[in-house]
Amino acid sequence: MKKGNKCKAMNILIIGNGYDLSMGLKTSYPDFLDMLEMAKINTLTWPNGEALKLGYKRFPLDYEKESTYLDFCNSVGQVYAEEFRKIAEESFWAQHFIETRLDIGDKWLNLEEEIKRVIDIVVANQNASRGRIRGPIEIKTLNRWASNRGLNLEKEGFKKCFEVLKRDLDVMIRALEIYMDAYINKQETSLPNDLDNKKFDKLLSFNYTSTYANATDISHFSNPSKDFCYVHGKADIDGNHIERRMVLGFDDHYKTDAKTVLEKVPFEKYYQRIVNRTDNNYMDWLKDIDAGEPSTVTIYGHSLAPSDGDILKQFIDNKNVKTDIYYLDEEDRAMKVQNLAVILEPQRLIELSGPTPQVDWKEITKRS
């Protein structure tokens, strides 16, 4: 976008999962785990192509979740519903997530943090066990799961163990893709009040869904393939999975003392983004920002989690960018400020929040 010798100022929208949640969409990890759990414990029949419940493998009944699961199955169709059910029944990660949430007695389980916890346990056990795959309950469960599939991890060692965990994580991501594309993307939404009637030049999405594009007129985007960036991959159940597969992992390289551990690399976001060839159009935008007129960034529905800080920092801590960050309430604002302090360092955050702030905070307008 050139204007004379300078690049034209851009108006960039950055969204996280809070955007979809504000639309009333069930895109949280607990929502997804609910469907995995329902798929595992329900048996269905498909008369005339419509999903009907046959049996329930565990009590007590949860009629609300069951109803949502039937809606999900009828939305995605029999082929994808059966694929989803098979993953729920056979995937180590799916089973581990479901059982862990039941054990902790808490509705919320962050899949990214749980993946990191399990991988850290396996790495620590590898370092302490002289190559013998033994140790905490997570490793014993993995051994039993692998044994049921004809794999002897005790015999084949830790290298095979990490390979199995990564391969099965890809299977789990496929279930997440079915949920997001064949279910969530089909639901009608409208733009939040604060974004309605606003035109943006670029969209940087940390979501798997295409809900923003579905809810707005994208004709003013000059080139959506370049103007949209799904940095963690875009859910597309029928798409090309050699490229742009979805990212699900962790990243703690924002920590100053973080070290690169070979076995953990395949489970980290930066690695998956490179290997999966997810969108990186934002890098070109940053070059245009540096060479152009002052630009505006609007962040909506993103927690500013430090694990995404490597990307967010390049926009927020850019002398040529004014950033507006939307928050839900004072508690949400405080959490975002705390996360931003980790990303930027406290002194830099203070400077950007000075008398003429580069970072401004805006409360989300509640829907009437």
The three-state DSSP-derived secondary structure of 58-74 is CCCCCHHHHHHHHHHHH
Specify the pLDDT at position 145: 82
Specify the pLDDT at position 106: 61
Rounded to whole angstroms, how far apart are CA atoms 286 and 201?
Answer: 13
The answer to whether the beta carbons of residues 260 and 270 sit under 8 Å apart is: no
**Residue 118 phi/psi, 5° resolution?**
-65, -45
Specify the pLDDT at position 130: 54
The answer to whether the beta carbons of residues 247 and 273 sit under 8 Å apart is: yes
Q: List domains and CATH numbers for the chain.
A: 2-24+188-231+279-363 (3.40.50), 29-184 (no CATH)
Q: At what angle do helices 78-90 and 158-178 cross, to 10 degrees?
A: 150
CA of 302: how far to CAs of 19, 50, 109, 261, 284, in Å? Answer: 7, 37, 18, 28, 22
Residues in the chain, pLDDT under 70: 1-5, 53-61, 105-108, 127-136, 154-155, 240-244, 253-258, 368
Prediction pTM value? 0.90
Rounded to whole angstroms, how far apart are CA atoms 205 and 234?
Answer: 9
Rounded to whole angstroms, how far apart are CA atoms 56 and 58?
Answer: 6
Specify the pLDDT at position 241: 58
Specify the pLDDT at position 39: 92
Specify the pLDDT at position 254: 58
The answer to whether the beta carbons of residues 226 and 203 sit under 8 Å apart is: no
DSSP class per residue in 272-334: HHHHTT---THHHHHHHHHTBS-EEEEEES----GGGHHHHHHHHT-TTEEEEEEESSHHHHH
Cα angle 326, 249, 13; round to 5: 25
Rounded to whole angstroms, how far apart are CA atoms 34 and 109?
Answer: 11
For residue 65, how many other CB atoms are within 10 A of its CB?
Answer: 16
Specify the pLDDT at position 59: 47
